[in-house]
Every structure is written in structure tokens, then in C-alpha cells.
Amino acid sequence: MRRSEIAEKLKGFYFFRHIEEERLQRIIEISSIAEYKRGSVLFYEGEEAKSLVVLLEGMLQIYKTDRKGNRIILHHFVPTAMIAEIVNLEHMKYPATGEFESDGKALLINYEIFEKEFLKDPEISLSFIKSLSKKIKYLENVIATNMVMNSTARVAKFICEHTNELAHLKKSMIAADLNMTPETLSRILKKLATLGLIEKSSDSIKIIDKEGLETYYL
């Protein structure tokens, strides 16, 4: 990926949108591009963070592992996204694992230099706060979805909130996100399709009646 391509991606990302061209080029100078194959781990739970990570290509799954070795899916990230910036800001270890579900690329920014040269910028500090607020909302959503709602409500909510990502998500991935078996997900999707709320095929889900889906969880 060329510098100009990286710059264009960053310009379109809210975190860097306001930065002047010269400063943006400096960020690229202190960064490297890493390529990952599907199944590659970007970082492990408990690992120390050295880089500020921006997902440029691919889909990244964030999960924790329970005592029995089961994965608890927290979130999926698609480009362009800042990943786990709290660990950099607080100088802490990663609280979860990040694994690629497809081939992907990430921009790894040298955080030590970034902190010295950029964090004093009020606009960037505000972007950090906004980004962290989004992560808190993700976590709140995981807690609410898994502890309060029944299975049908969880599926309906997921479909409505991931409209733009449905084309990239396999049913097995959705089931894992919702901590249910693929068989349970299939039964619920069949019910929603029978009710005329969605249209489903072997590899896609299309919303037909969003308001009808929302009645299950609002």
C-alpha cells in the first residue's frame, strides 16, 4: 500500500480528518504497515501494547476467553477503525485478543513518538475521547444483549445494527457474536423470514421490515 493510499484512508477517518497534510505525513513516517492472513492474531489478551493500531483492511474479531476455553465475542471491527487505543493511553495490557477473520492490513503507529508529538493537540485528544466513548457503547451493548434479551431479540437487534456488515458476516460468525449455536440462529432466522421481516439465503440476510424487527428489542 502506497503512502498516498494510506493518507487517503486516514483523511477519511474521523480521528485524523482535521490534521494538516504535513502532520499526516509525519504520522505515516512513524508508522509501518503490517499484513495479516485470516486467523492471524493482531494481539493477545495480556500482551503489552507498543503501537497505536488502525485497521485498514479486513475484519477483526475481539474476544475474551473464559476458564473453559470458550470465546466470548466482544466486537467485530471493519475498516477504518482505531483498535484498543485505551491500552496505549493508559499504558496497560490488552484486555482481550484481536484475531483476523479475513486477510487484512493494519497501520502500526509508534505510540511513544505519537504521544510526544501529537497528544498535546486538543483536536486529537478530543478524538481519543470520542473513540473511547464508542468503545464504552460497544461494551454496554454486549452486556445488554447477552444478559437482558432473549434469543430472538438478540438476533433482531444484531441484524438492525449491522446492516452494512451483513454481507461480510457468515452465519457462523453471527452465532459466535451472539453466543448461541448456529442451529439456534438458523431457527430464529427462519422464523423472522416466515414473518416477512427478513429475506435470507444460504449466504446473505436482507432486511425487509426494519420496524418489525425493532419491536423485538425496543
How does pLDDT run across 146-176, given as a tens digit for each residue? 667 889 998 999 999 888 777 777 888 888 8
Predicted confidence (pLDDT) at residue 142 exceeds the cutoff of 80: no
Q: Is the pTM of this model over 0.75?
A: no
How does pLDDT run across 15-72, given as a tens digit for each residue? 888 888 999 999 999 999 999 999 999 999 999 999 999 999 999 999 988 887 878 8
Predicted confidence (pLDDT) at residue 126 exceeds the cutoff of 80: yes
Range list of H helices, the chain = 3-11, 21-29, 85-89, 111-118, 122-147, 151-161, 171-177, 182-194, 210-214
Please, is 201 exposed, middle or buried when counting C-beta atoms within 10 Å of its C-beta (0-12, 13-18, 19+)?
exposed
